[in-house]
Chains A and B, each alone.
Chain A
Amino acid sequence: MAGPVPDPGSLTVVTATPAAAITYPGAQRPARTRTVTSNGLDLAVYEWGPVDGPAILLAHGGFDFAGTYDVLAPMLAEHGWRCVSWDHRGHGDSAHAHLYSWSADVRDAFHVLESVGQERVVLLGHSKGGALMFELADACPHRITHVVNLDGLPSRNSWPDVAEHERTRMVASELTSWLDHRRSLVGRERKPGTLEELADRRGRMNPRLDPAWLRYLVPIGASEDADGWRWKIDPTMRFGGFGPWRPEWSMERMPSLAVPVLGMLGLELEVMGWGTRPEDVEPYLPPGAELHPLEGVGHFVHIEQPRLVADLILDFLDRRRDR
């Protein structure tokens, strides 16, 4: 028997500060929301722009949610693009799953892609979402016209270069901590706090982002009850982790792409960033791919410099109609 899967829609949420009460320059909530069911799991899907426009499928990064495209997506939608994004399983308003994996995220992305229609689409992703879109593009080359990657190019640099005995010790500590966490999960919830506290907590992982932006995100990515605000993300999720995966394996999906590829790298090192350098990426670029290293910009390129990033994307999509 499957255990109960919480339905975020069934939770009683007393919203003292409705999302509409907090604004941020240029940010627009999606024009349309809907649900896509991925093998029984409900995913929250959002759209900006004309429903009959050519589509861009946008994938957010780990620990984020589709609302983090509230500034970039409207800039693309203004030019006639139908921007479609979704909260990954366990994130935002999508259902919390029993299991989370890379292949499950790719499959969920595929179901959202299928829901957009049978026309070919642009795939765009930030961070983990960028690597995810490489894999989706590689699995479904017949469904895509372009791939845009926003600081989602993991490389060997992203893997600590340490001696074997040191790595063994690190893995031991990570493993024990993760298994202890798994043993303690029954009944666990995210820590509650005020709206300001949640924004501050997020700011520790996103230190370059405008505090006003972080406050804007709270009523979207968190819900409020009698204890205060809690991020909606599944409490099983945590930073770090371990596994057989090597970051460069995602990069190795890139050379096989036959469609135009646009990549951006935020060169400022920061806590959530991957430290990838242009020279790490260049050997993997397929013919005709474009790479823009962005000086003075951190990992969240589309949030720090939305106008610059939107213009690069719009120019690329306009010029590269060689699909």
Chain B
Amino acid sequence: MSPLETRHLQHYRATLALHRLSDGAGRPLLLLHGLGERTPERPPAYLDAWPGAVWGLDLTGHGESTVPVGGGYTAEILLADVDHAVAELGEVTVLGRGLGAYLALLIAGARPAQVHGAILFDGPGLIGGGVRPGSAWIADLDAHADERSPDPFALAELARDVRSIDYATTYVHLACAGSSLDAPICVSTVSRPEWLTAVVEEQGVLDQPLLDALAHYAAR
């Protein structure tokens, strides 16, 4: 089974695959996969009750999206990937797994008028590189000979991507300042790395199980 539709978005030199997994009336839900994952071919069962269409974005270096030459990944460039999907779909609710959960927080803060609720859920890459840089290290991977997806540089670099607490909470403040929702972010994870513990303590952030979070934003 394949997605109902795949659109290709041009983010400068990268082509991003945006998949439509299901139809529905109402606000679409944008699914962001975790580190090393790709958009699933079908919507996960926990999205059965979501009233709108379900879309999923393959991030740079993942799935059917471009695998770049020579690495250089940051969460911010993937935020710009997500922003291209938001530009394509209009107002959305975002559900992110792992790395995608961090990106859901960033896009909620960056485009608060277009992101009507961001749900942060467990998945690969949730922790990132911690709240401070680790020991100096060079990811010298023999990864240029082919275009493997997921890109080994994505796996190496985004596993060390620093997620400092004040940076993460700044995005909560941005989301609250620009959203029409009282609580534009919901943390539905079991794992709570330091950045996420700080996020969930902020005003305007719900702490609810995934199905409750989906029902909450579907009703608003």
Residues of A within 8 A of B (CB): 1-5, 37-41, 89, 95-101, 103-104, 106-108, 110-111, 135-136, 138-140, 164, 167-168, 171-172, 175-176, 178-179, 182-183, 185-186, 236, 242-246, 249, 253
The answer to whether the Cβ of B219 comes within 8 Å of any Cβ in the partner chain is no
Residue of A whose beta carbon sits closest to that of B107: A179
Q: Which of B66, B109, B143 contacts A98 (CB 8 A)?
A: B66
Enumerate the 5 nearest inter-chain pairs by beta-carbon distance, A residue then B residue, closest first: A40-B144, A99-B72, A98-B68, A104-B72, A41-B70
Give the chain A neighbours of B80 by CB distance below 8 A.
Answer: 178-179, 182
CB of A103, distance to nearest CB on chain B (Å): 6
* CB atoms of A249 and B144 under 8 A apart: no
Q: What are some 13 contacts across the A-B interface (CB < 8 A)?
A: A40-B69, A97-B68, A97-B70, A97-B72, A99-B60, A104-B71, A107-B140, A139-B136, A139-B137, A172-B109, A172-B174, A179-B80, A179-B110
> Are A103 and B12 within 8 A (Cβ)?
no
Cβ-defined contact, B144 with A39, below 8 A: yes
State the CA gap A163–B70 with chains docked (Å): 38
Contact call B15/A89, Cβ cutoff below 8 A: no
Nearest Cβ distance between residue B150 and chain A, in whole angstroms?
A: 14
In angstroms, Cα B170 to Cα A287, docked, is 38
Residues on A with beta carbons closer than 8 Å to the beta carbon of B68: 2-3, 97-99
Judge whether B162 and A244 touch: CB under 8 Å: yes
Number of B interface residues in the complex (CB < 8 A):
52
* Cβ contact within 8 Å between A172 and B178: yes
- In addition to A40-B144, A99-B71, A164-B173, 13 A-B residue pairs with Cβ atoms within 8 Å of each other are A2-B66, A39-B69, A99-B68, A101-B157, A103-B157, A103-B160, A104-B71, A106-B136, A138-B136, A186-B10, A243-B74, A243-B167, A244-B163
Flag if B11 contacts A175 (CB, 8 Å). Answer: no
Known: A40-B144, A89-B70. A243 touches B76 (CB 8 A): yes
Within 112-159 of B, Cβ neighbours of A (below 8 Å) are at 132-133, 135-144, 147, 153, 157
A140 to B72, CA, bound (A): 20
By a CB distance below 8 angstroms, the chain B residues around A40 are 69-70, 144
